[in-house]
Amino acid sequence: MPFTVSKVQVSDAESIARHVHTMFPQAATMTEAQKNEVIAWYSDMQRDAFEEGSESFLKVSSADGSPVGFCGWTVIGQKGEAIGGAKHERRKATWMPETLDQDSWIKLSHAPRAERNRVLKDFDDITRLTFMAVSPEHQRQGIGSMMMQRVCEETDRHGRCAYVLAAPEGVRLYTKFGFETIGCVETAQGTDYEWQLFKSWSEPAALDPGIYRFFFDSSI
């Protein structure tokens, strides 16, 4: 089946959320109401990202136009701030679904920060892959690789490094594109996430040529 890669529109926010929610550790045990709450929450976050203009997105569609995969990435400076987006107050920044383990979610958000800052302190304009989601029935068909190829081409074109917080299932894909593990955080559910980082082939020679792409292994 042929697949096509294209840019994402704000109208895709809910589709993104429906794909991404399947990656949540509790997804398999959620009730329909809980799933809808998580999807609404994540949809709000994606709409905010569109309005800010600080994040880039891609989607892969099947021959009939149905979305089967999404990914997003942003570029951050040395202070950890997104580059290129307009600053405004987020509409839904203060609410989280009751379904989520908020303590674990907050820990997953903050635990890797010190390690990330330590490793990336000499880098600037870094590409951060924020999410990669492919519908379960279309996995193992090269869709993730199609999106990663585009992200890596964009990163190389600007001579940037990139990093990603990778779930165990994604490590094989990111390693295929040259990412290397630089750390780990453990989740309450026992899931090990990896921070992986890569250095663009076009990076200045002054930087360590032995590091190409690497990720931080994280478990809460």
- Which residue, 171, 189, 185, is CA-closest to 217? 185
What are the tokens at 156? 């190389």
User: Using an 8 Å Cβ cutoff, are 121 and 80 in contact?
Assistant: no
Sign of CA dihedral 155, 156, 161, 164: positive
3-class SS at 61?
Answer: strand
Give the start-to-end residue ranges of the domains of the chain: 4-219
DSSP string, 134-183: E-GGGTTSSHHHHHHHHHHHHHHHTT-EEEEEE-GGGHHHHHHTT-EEEE
What are the residues whose beta carbons fall under 8 Å from the beta carbon of 102, sequence distance 6 or more?
Answer: 96
What are the tokens at 137? 């029935």
Architecture of domain 4-219: 3-Layer(aba) Sandwich (3.40)
pLDDT digits (tens, 9 = 90+) for 109-135: 665 566 667 667 777 788 889 888 888
Tokens 């920044």 correspond to 93
Per-residue pLDDT of the chain (220 residues; tens, 9 = 90+): 689 999 888 888 888 888 876 666 566 677 888 778 878 877 888 888 878 887 899 999 999 988 899 999 988 875 555 565 544 444 444 566 666 655 655 565 665 566 667 667 777 788 889 888 888 888 899 999 999 999 999 998 888 888 888 877 788 898 888 888 877 766 555 555 666 666 544 433 333 333 334 444 333 2
Distance CA 211, CA 50 (A): 32
Distance CA 142, CA 146 (A): 6
Q: Please tell me the pTM assigned to this model.
A: 0.70
Distance CA 121, CA 113 (A): 11
Rg (the chain; Cα; Å): 17
What are the tokens at 56? 């880039």
